Structure 1
Amino acid sequence: MKKILILTCCLAFLSQSCQDVLKEEIVSGITPAYYETAGGFEDAVKATYQPLRTWYGTQRGFTLTVFGTDTYTRGADGGYKFVNDYTPNLNSGVDYFRDLWNDFYRAINTANTVIDRAPAASIAEDIKAIRVAEAKFLRAHYYFILVQTFGPVHLTLEETTKIETTASRTPVKEVYDAIVKDLEDAIAALPATQANYGRATKPAAEHMLAKVLLTRAGQPTAAKPDDYQRAADLAKKVISDYNFKLLPNFADVFNQARQEHEEVVWSVQYTSDLITNGDGNSGHLYFIMEYDAGHKGTMRDVANGRPFKRFKPTMYTLDLFDRTKDSRYNGSFKQVFYANNPATLAPGMKIGDTAIWVAPTNISAEFKAKKNYRIIDRAEVFSSGNYRYFPTLSKFLDPLRPSVQDERGSRDYMVARLGETYLIAAEALLKAGKPDEAVTYINTLRRRAALPGKEKEMEITAADLNMDFILDERGRELLGEMDRWFDLVRTGTLLERVKKYNPEAAPNIQPYHVLRPIPSDQIDRSGGLQVFAQNNGY
């Protein structure tokens, strides 16, 4: 399938046609009439996708969704440790909150432009309906992240054509109602597949609406009685009505050589073309331990990655996996680094031999003394002051980068994959009072994760199923995949689980941390706190 290349500028709409790689054609002096041409309208739709790249696969996106949860705490490096630690530096002046707000509202206005200008656009009506549905899908997606992050936000569903100096915080119920309406409209008009891989589709919208309803159901002021059942029905439809399937091997889900596989419901596109890839998918940087200094036989290389060591797994995370029957520990973590530096080899070590082993258990001193390679065992991983050495999350590693220091990865970012669809179905069914049906979806996912011959042992019963188990299972399946902070907020467990499992964050986290601070510049340009109130606690 052909990819839609997400363009690098929301305002300068670029190429006029969809090729395997869309060619940029810089357009200057855009007038309103341009949007009414077929090419201008198509470019506006393409530009609505671009801001996804400011969030998915970026340090900003990972920091605001992975950090400060039960699964990940701070590593050695990075300037945003306060996001994990919930210190007073987590405030309305942080650029990540400001940039998220600004980028997504620009995206929303681009989507509004597409929707408002569609009636006058000179394009075939059947194609126009699909493109408008894509814009509604994307607008819903941007608002969904904003409302989960900030609570009541300004809701605008019309194109901004002049300077506006007023804004207000729309109640959460109205924001969710708008999101649901957009997704319902998108589902009605989108096809099951698109010629350009990466465009929104009907199953992608159904998956997203299921997740939205699952989230809205936990909002007392916004929930509707049938939200859980509707979420379950939509997730079941995605699983059964299309050509998606779980890959037999969990690790294959993240095989960079075959990214467009049967488990991907929808992904954000990146490319190996450095001219059009922008900053790229930089997820490969943040979860790697320091393997390239202080060890015999190792040096930094493209295959092993550039170790920013931002995010360190918690003890809870490493205890999630029963390694005797669950393949997802080995499928998620890189535990061995091989000798690649002839200048620093240990005695008896050759290039390609084990240089570092990050052991999942404690290893005796006697065993370590017999080996010429470095063994970092569980005791060292969780020793006081160690933020450099830990199992490396392998899901986002990118050995296809052009050079050792290059940060611009080319992996697509899977926003929706079938593994999560199964988890959404299970959670919604459990909440709808149907644990016997819910457990069938959990067990299908767990059988896929089983080591050969261990499928039956991985199954659970309905009596075993509760929200703690589902959160644990989401941790095992979706570790690091930019869901965890939202999961804990959605289920009302952020404070409890952070206090229990994240020792660096536990002393400071407060109830008000279930929302992020409204950016100060948004408050200032809207007339101050009397007009655009700050979230409690900030």
Structure 2
Amino acid sequence: MKNLPQFNTYFRALLAGTLLLFGQACSEEFLDKRPQGEQVTEDFFNSQEGAVRATNAIYWQLRQWPTHVFSFIGVSSITSDDAEKGSEPNDAIFLNEFDQFTVSPTNSGLNDFWTGQYLGIAKANQVIQRVPAIQMDTTLRSRLIGEARMLRAYFYFNLVRTFGGVPLITAIQGDEAPATPRSTREQTYQQIETDLRAAIAVLPEKSQYPTTELGRATRGAAKGLLAKVSMYQGKWPQVLQLTDEIMKSGEYDLSTPYEVIFTEAGENSRESVFEVQAAALPQCGGGSQYAEVQGVRSAQAGLGWGFNVPTQDLFNAYETGDPRRDATFLVRGETTRDGYTVPQTAINPYYNQKAYVGLNESRSPCGLGDSGKNIRLLRYADIVLMYAEAANELNQTPAALTALNSVRARARGSSTTVLPNVTATDRTQVRNAIWRERRVELAMEHDRFWDLVRQGRAAEVLRAAGKQFMQNRNEIMPIPQQQIDASGNVLTQNPGY
């Protein structure tokens, strides 16, 4: 395996006033998938063009290694019963700690994850604080600040789900600023909600952007993220209201066939609420390693490093004939629609098809490590299932069943023999059916572990899957020791670590 990039910047340095905008980060046209390459100057925040570039730098951070590649996969997926480390047994052994919940404060992947989220926050803070003073189109200015606030909320949502309460850095900090102590979990969620409500107030809907700007934060994406944030706090009336508004907006639907969603043809479709934009540019530099690290690993025509592979337990979770299993799993010996055959010699029996880049899809000349595979962060089916769960919790079970069955109807397609409608009326049975549907519909999409934690089932389910999960400890991860040291012990460790 190639040498893995390491981010050794300490906590306070990450939050310093210098904006880390280099290379691809500086192009105002990145979301249009064009080349980039300009460097920051002292007068970067003195023009409308600079404001757009600064905002695009936050999006650039979304596809970087510490934000959404190795560490993100370890924290959000390998921890679940849907996935295991995969690859060669002796490769990237630090990921075994996520698989078995033996992760320690010195785990390098854990520090990468922290770093990636706070780099995004630092860039968002620059836009939120400095763009208001720029003489520019006022509507655009408000929109860019709204984009930054939604993205900052997303980074903090990843942090609070992973670590509990974290330092709330909402303004530019200089090199000499004292380290910021941790806020509580409740305070962190309050800040996330404040940012999202501010974003909702100013962001356009998806259809109001030109096609060249697809992928930007939208009102629907901010509402969807706020709905999920509310779900994690058990605020069911808020979840119901927000998801209902999204479903009635006319911006999204379930018309995209399930097997198309994760292909190049499915990017930014009616299913897409928010996804990270990547591009296979002729001159390279527009992609991400997200697909590469999960690709089929084999000496014979391998496509990647083979990490984050689906488990047998997930394979068995699908109902007989559910087409979503075939759209999620790549199996040894299988030949895909584009003509790729998974070698029988592949190291692992299964691979994540949702991260697969087809032979007939755009390819970067720099290889799969520069893949144009978009990273799906929030889908419309998730919105519908959140609505179903909220309706059921609020004793509106008929509405919950209608929403739940609409997701199943899309999955079964034209078949009349698979995935029949759920007809249970008992609220507990319907809740369990929704939870099961979330697992198979959103499999390998980085929700399962955090879903189990919020549902209060993590210990039961993960122990049954053979993981060494300890209740009242492993629901959150340890604070990286590197960050505690850099803070001069201002940051405190989570209990049990």
1:68–1:83 contact (8 Å) kept in structure 2: yes
Alignment length, in residue pairs? 461
Q: Taking structure 1 as reference, are residues 282 and 17 closer, same or farther at Cα in structure 2, changes over 3 Å only?
A: closer
Match of 1:84 in 2: 99
**Structure holding more helix per residue:** 2
Q: Taking structure 1 as reference, are residues 492 and 287 closer, same or farther at Cα in structure 2, changes over 3 Å only?
A: farther
- The reply on whether 1:24 has 2:30 as its aligned counterpart is no
- The reply on whether 1:47 has 2:47 as its aligned counterpart is no
Q: Taking structure 1 as reference, are residues 423 and 56 closer, same or farther at Cα in structure 2, changes over 3 Å only?
A: farther
1:450–1:458 contact (8 Å) kept in structure 2: no
Match of 2:487 in 1: 526
**Equivalent residue in structure 2 for 1:491, among 447, 452, 455:** 455
Deviations 1:15-49 (A, max 9, x none): 35678344424235x22x43132122221111122
2:385–2:434 contact (8 Å) kept in structure 1: yes
Distance 1:413 1:18 in 2: 15
**Equivalent residue in structure 2 for 1:253, among 244, 261, 264:** 261
- State which drifts further: 427-436 or 471-480: 427-436
- How far did 1:339 drift? 8.6
Distance 2:119 2:366 in 1: 34
- The reply on whether 1:457 has 2:420 as its aligned counterpart is yes
Within 5 Å, which residues of 2 pair with 1:209-358? 209-217=226-234, 227-247=235-255, 249-273=257-281, 275=283, 277=285, 280-286=288-294, 288=296, 292=298, 299-300=300-301, 305-306=303-304, 308-324=305-321, 326-335=322-331, 337=333
Q: Taking structure 1 as reference, are residues 439 and 279 closer, same or farther at Cα in structure 2, changes over 3 Å only?
A: same
Greater Rg by CA: 1
Q: Taking structure 1 as reference, are residues 412 and 148 closer, same or farther at Cα in structure 2, changes over 3 Å only?
A: same
Distance 2:419 2:374 in 1: 33
Match of 2:204 in 1: 191
SS of corresponding position for 1:272: coil
Deviations 1:292-338 (A, max 9, x none): 46xxxxx315xxx33x33334333312211223x2212222233636
1:447–1:455 contact (8 Å) kept in structure 2: no
Match of 1:346 in 2: none
Structure 1 runs (4+) deviating above 4 angstroms are: 16-19, 352-356, 402-405
Distance 2:191 2:404 in 1: 31
- How far did 1:190 drift? 0.5
SS of corresponding position for 2:370: coil
**Equivalent residue in structure 2 for 1:37, among 38, 47, 50:** 47
- State which drifts further: 144-153 or 420-429: 420-429
Distance 1:490 1:403 in 2: 42
- The reply on whether 1:64 has 2:79 as its aligned counterpart is no
Distance 1:19 1:141 in 2: 18
1:280–1:407 contact (8 Å) kept in structure 2: yes
Identity of counterpart residues, as a percentage?
25
Q: Unaligned stretches of 5+ in structure 2?
A: 1-18
Match of 1:132 in 2: 145
Distance 1:537 1:97 in 2: 16
- How far did 1:285 drift? 3.8
SS of corresponding position for 1:74: strand
TM-score of the superposed pair, with normalisation by structure 2? 0.85
**Equivalent residue in structure 1 for 2:357, among 378, 398, 409:** 398
- Equivalent AA in structure 1 for residue 58 of structure 2: T
TM-score of the superposed pair, with normalisation by structure 1? 0.79
1:215–1:490 contact (8 Å) kept in structure 2: yes
2:78–2:84 contact (8 Å) kept in structure 1: yes
SS of corresponding position for 1:407: helix
Q: Taking structure 1 as reference, are residues 49 and 10 closer, same or farther at Cα in structure 2, changes over 3 Å only?
A: farther
Q: Taking structure 1 as reference, are residues 315 and 119 closer, same or farther at Cα in structure 2, changes over 3 Å only?
A: closer
- How far did 1:444 drift? 0.6
**Equivalent residue in structure 2 for 1:410, among 362, 372, 381:** 372
- The reply on whether 1:101 has 2:78 as its aligned counterpart is no
- Equivalent AA in structure 2 for residue 334 of structure 1: L
Q: Taking structure 1 as reference, are residues 61 and 275 closer, same or farther at Cα in structure 2, changes over 3 Å only?
A: farther
Distance 2:419 2:187 in 1: 45
Q: Taking structure 1 as reference, are residues 525 and 35 closer, same or farther at Cα in structure 2, changes over 3 Å only?
A: same
- Equivalent AA in structure 2 for residue 462 of structure 1: T
Match of 1:474 in 2: 438
Within 5 Å, which residues of 2 pair with 1:368-379? none
**Equivalent residue in structure 2 for 1:204, among 194, 217, 221:** 221
Distance 2:55 2:153 in 1: 14
Distance 1:392 1:74 in 2: 11
Q: Taking structure 1 as reference, are residues 500 and 447 closer, same or farther at Cα in structure 2, changes over 3 Å only?
A: same
- How far did 1:248 drift? 5.2
- State which drifts further: 422-431 or 462-471: 462-471
- Equivalent AA in structure 1 for residue 411 of structure 2: A
